[in-house]
Amino acid sequence: MNNTDSKDQTTHFGYEKVSVDDKTGKVFDVFQSVASRYDIMNDLMSLGVHRLWKWFTCETSGIRPGQRILDLAGGTGDIAMKLSDRVGVEGEVVIADINDAMLINGRSRLTDKGYASNIKYVQANAEVLPFPDNYFHAVTISFGLRNVTHIDVALKEMFRVLQAGGQLIVLEFSKPKLPLLKQAYDFYSFNILPVMGKVVANDEKSYRYLAESIRMHPDQDKLKQMILDAGFNKCEYHNMTGGIVALHKARKF
């Protein structure tokens, strides 16, 4: 279920079929290109609704003071800021991202906002995490899982670094449930979003890829099964905005 053909070792980069070895580099280039305009584009693309999705994710996370949290594909730090407040000075949030430009922008942004004492930054591939077994109380990944080359491998790595009883939290674009909403969403994604990317970020191609990557990502139930197959227990998901986004939660027991 990782969108990879093991016979010829190809995978999908949006709708394009590429070699497995090439996808990581292509995804890296996309986020290297959009890093400086990432936050502005998030607000424009979602009309600000992404802030509500992230707020709900953190408010329902159950993360407590003193815990150690891994925020994968942490980008420019939206989730990390909220988690930093929740774990407090005695806790720790580790932002891990494969892209150095995203980490640099995130670190600058969080430092300017006064977040420094309990946040660390690590450049890392989600498929090969540089952390010991049973290390984190929770692992979060928001709008980043669909960009991973081997989703199943990354999920197993997340399972490995979680403590017993630890929680996986995945916030990701998914599949709208209502036909009319799906039609409107498709029109917006493939007609409005690339133009917006061209005008605001001077990068139409990257935003067309992001729209395509959402369509290639497993739907709610398929992702739930992949999480269970990685070893997690009691995986549940909650649809937001009619299923445009889904929040999956699972435990390691």
Q: What residues contact residue 111 under an 8 Å CB cut-off, 6+ apart?
A: none
Instruction: Tell me if 52 sits within 8 A of 178, measured CB to CB.
Output: no
Residue-level pLDDT at 8: 52
Instruction: Specify the CATH number for the domain of residue 46.
Output: 3.40.50.150
The CA distance from 79 to 24, in Å, is: 23
User: What global pTM score does this model have?
Assistant: 0.86
Give the model confidence (pLDDT) of 49-98 as tens digits.
999 999 999 999 999 999 999 999 998 899 999 999 999 999 999 999 99
Would 4 be classed as within a structural domain? Answer: no
Q: Which two tokens stand for residue 122?
A: 């690590």
Q: How many domains does the chain have?
A: 1
Amino acid letter, 64: R
Letter string b/e over residues 39-49, b meaning 16 or more CB atoms within 10 A of that residue's CB: bebbebbeeee
Would 193 be classed as within a structural domain? Answer: no
Is 245's pLDDT higher than 70? yes
Say which DSSP state 47 is in: T
Is 1's pLDDT higher than 60? no
The CA distance from 35 to 213, in Å, is: 17
